[in-house]
Structure 1
Amino acid sequence: MLTLLIPGPKEAGNNIDVYLQPLIDDLKLLWDQGEKMYDAYSQTYFNLRAMIFCTISDFPGYGNLSVYTIKGAKACPIYEDATIDLHLKNCKKNVYMGHPTFLPLTHPYRKRKNDFDGTIETRVARFPLTEKEVFERVKDIDVVLGKLYKKPTPNSIWKKRSVFWDLPYWEHFKVIDPLTLDKLQADIIVTLCEFEMYFLHSFFGIMVHLVTHLVREIKICGPLYVRQMYPFERFLCILKAYVRNRRHPEANIVGGYSVEETIEFCTDYLASTDPIGILRSRHEGRLDGQGTVGHKMITSGAEMLDRAHLFVLQHMTEVNPYLQEHILEIGRKNPSKGAKWIEWLAYGPNMPLSSFQGYDVNGYSFYTQHQDNKSTVQNSGISVEAFSTEFERGNSIASRDVKKSYYGVIEEIWEIDYKDFKVALFKCKWFDIHHGVRVDKSGFTLVDFNRFGHEDDPFILATQVKQVFYIRDPADVRWSIVLQGKRRIIGVDNVEDEEEYNQFDENPLSRLAYKPHL
């Protein structure tokens, strides 16, 4: 893209050819002889040839470049003297309607005279001017450029012969006519006709009429966004907003744009630096989980490791579809066998395991119960919402899933290594949901530290739990009151909505199965 900037307090007008002449000379040279250029990639010289593809300007600039009179009754450069216009005396302006002439002769809009100008439309829009027809109209117009004196020009809507006609290929451009654009053109004409039914006449300026020619321009030159003024005009609107003193608009634009660029640079630069004097959350970079204290490598028993591995398989979203498929397949092939065969279908994790006494995840800091005994704070309490399968009393077949809250304390923290990723598990002691957890009359949840249960399901994913605290009940020392933990993660690792962050879509709720005590 080549930009032409013409200095001065006034526009060049029809004398723009004076400024374009050096460009035309260079374009002729590039077309006829070319220019010797060096290709750094292939390290060879080649002859560069170039041609002008299209011009980008607003409509007044289009008039200067095409040397067509874009004001008055015949302001459309495509249809010239066939332009249908109407002069409004009170508004003192010309409007351009008559869009039903572009419709097919059988279109029903042509007969709806009451919705238009009161007559049945029988006229047909003529074909647009070709490049040869335009050249015939301007080739004999002789105009002396410059503003030293004025020379009378012929009474014609074409003011002069544009300097672009000096290019040897200008009059030989061909039109590409993809059929896929014809439907768009028909829709545009129908829309403009509907506008004429309801809008006032003063709405239909030349810019509205020119919409009828957009499809034609696309066929000739390709997409509008690469050659139209619309992006530039939108940016000019931004630049005009910088003007505070109309006496010096250019200085205001330069100053305002420079200030904005400086602010953007400083913002981008400061975003990559560490703030001084501002406390940083300890959970920054740890929301996904990270061990903190007491790291060591351990070797677990085979049975407990298999339990942990099976728990991971049952709670990973990626594994769940295959798990259900294998359960159905095994059920068909081995009606007498249960779904526990799935446990042997996958390889176990790497050994030894990483163990921690402390772990940060989801904005919480968790400790094991052993670490809690050495600390002045309590961080080993957890709660999780899980589905439990309950069987009806006296019926071992009929069951239903119930969503309940389970409470426990962390005994161990494991980080299982699966080569490509790691999974953090809490090995917990769960309070017996049936005998060790109750809700008192005041609505407080209480747990009994002497009643634990669910020993077959000691593991839980670290990302699934919430932190709770246990406070000894002064009315009954055997029970402890459950208090929910708090966290502050807004602004940590770009978290904006805590409720949205709480949606653990990738980790389905765990399932704890038990039969009620009879």
Structure 2
Amino acid sequence: MSTTQSTWPVVLVPYNLPPWMCMKRSSLILSLVIPGPTSPGIAIDTYLQPLVEELRELWDVGVESFDASSNTRFQLRAALIWTINDFPAYADISGWSTKGLFACPSCMFDTESYYLKHGQKVCYMGHRRWLDNDHEFREDDINFEGTKEFRVAPMTPSGLEIMRDAKNLVGRCPGKKHQALYNKRKKGEEDACVWKKRSILFTLLYWADQKLCHNIDVMHTKKNVTDNIMATLLDLAGKTKDTYRARLDLKAMGIRSELHLVHKGVDKVEMPVACYNMTTSEKHGFLQVLKDVRVPDGYASNISRRVHLKERRISGLKSHDDHILIQQLLPIALRRSLPSQVIRPLIKLSCYFHEICSKTLTVLVLENLGKDIAATLCKLEKIFPPSFFTVMVHVVMHLAREAKFGRPVHYRWMYPIESMHKHVIEDELRKAHRRITDGVIHKHYMEKFCGWFRDLVMSMSDADRQKLSVTLSTIGACPYSRAKRMKHYVTNGLKFRTKDSEKNKKTQNSGVDIHSSRGYKIDELGFPLVNFTRLIHVGDELMDELYVLASEASQVFYVEDKRDKDWFVVVKTKARDVFDAGSGPLCEDDDGDTYCENVPYNIIGDNAASDNIGLARPDVQGITIDAMVIKENEKAVNGDFIDDNDFIDDDYDNNEEYSDNEYNDD
């Protein structure tokens, strides 16, 4: 967690299980633990060697197993389908460096990268290559990098091509000296070897034929993209991608003159306010929406505690909070905060993540998503500075392609692995008698007490049971079946509460979905809104319907935006562990979401090049900067020669482009 220890668990996930069991902790196999105290780096193959040998045996020979259904024995065989890991581990396992000019593991040698000499970072843009050949963005040399784009999208190399490229690395000991030797390369050198090793997984006979060997983890990708967006929109010091250095890079690239620094006298320089920069009042309104959010139990953590209105910032979000934020809450909070040309591509990005994370996917939908995300990223390129486009933003482009080969992402992301890792750590802490939070203890108590108490009562002798009160005996024997009214009820995998019982709670479980034409509307961005001052009925009339069948109940919660008086945005939810097992045809209105349902889809069809973009905000005073700061930066940049090898290394501890703050949150 917040220590210097780096412990690496290696977990096997058996996929031949029902979807509601596949990624559960009880089904995961902890095959080995790499203790640290530092990460193994590319030498991880040394630790994986025993596991790979067993995988080869499972493929070549198999193991004798017993089939309980037929009462027979058979030879069980297994194959490794892919790996799931965060982005630094992607480099260690695959052998391809995920830093520097060629950081994208899908584009590889065709990675479109540009070194920003003022920001001293590498940016990854060039998403016009994935657009249709006749798309008007390809001819636009004004709003992009000052050039037209006629290249085709890069192709991901096959396993056989990777084996050929890394053939000279076979048998070499993966270590620091070997790593440094093969990191000395220049972009454009035809004989350069970017591979650090040939992965030990290629010793599996079938590995070179796999369409998808290593997954780009959607969990960490969403977290990094969300952090980029939030930091830039709120102008968080030290985290925003829009700094005076970014504006100097715009000038060096010769693009977006509206946002270049403007000299005001001898000692002052003004930085124009960009279209994505919020004013103080806009920040307050944006954060107030998130501050007032109350979500159902288990939907997310208490996000309102992470919002600091006085400092106008949000911090300390877990990876799952970012998942909820980017897919549901961020578009709602943005509705009244920024110009349309800014919020529309951000909402489209939200829709993309929503679709990618659905339980049910089709090839046609994924192909359309691939085209949509290319146009969306191009729109973002026209708005945000190049420094915004870290490699984690770029790899969003490849998630739809990987879903075509993989399957829904809830089989291929790190939420269950991370959760299991934390449970293992908590168990170890308990064994060591170290302090554990009250929340962890309470959760363990709630999970175990009911079963323990029932077993205790049922195991008592008749004489001992007679000493108990009638209430305790009844509770211990079985649930009381005559209860007529309850404050909460669980059905269809959803928990409902009465409004009275949740008045003082931070969660909201009372919303039940019904259809009505009164007090309901859809705004211009496609968000459904309700007005509780226009109720259908209050239950006074004879014909007023007071009840809903439990089997038909679906849940919603409401997000208040004080800038839109009396109107609440409706967000539908779905049970996390309820799946369509294929008993009948899929419903057309079942979007198969893993956790949340509605998103504004009506903006998807608008013209990708129709927006009139004003890059600077003339109604807001620019930010004044000391001219000496600018001069010192330019002197440092122009005075020092920066070689490619200065930023191509394997020290992920200082890689600001990969933020994984959830591991450090208490």
TM-score (norm 2): 0.38
Q: Radius of gyration: which is bigger?
A: 1
The structure where helix makes up a greater share of residues is 2
Highest RCO, 1 vs 2 (Cα 8 Å, sep ≥ 6): 2
If the length of structure 1 is used for normalisation, what is the TM-score? 0.49
Bigger strand fraction = 1
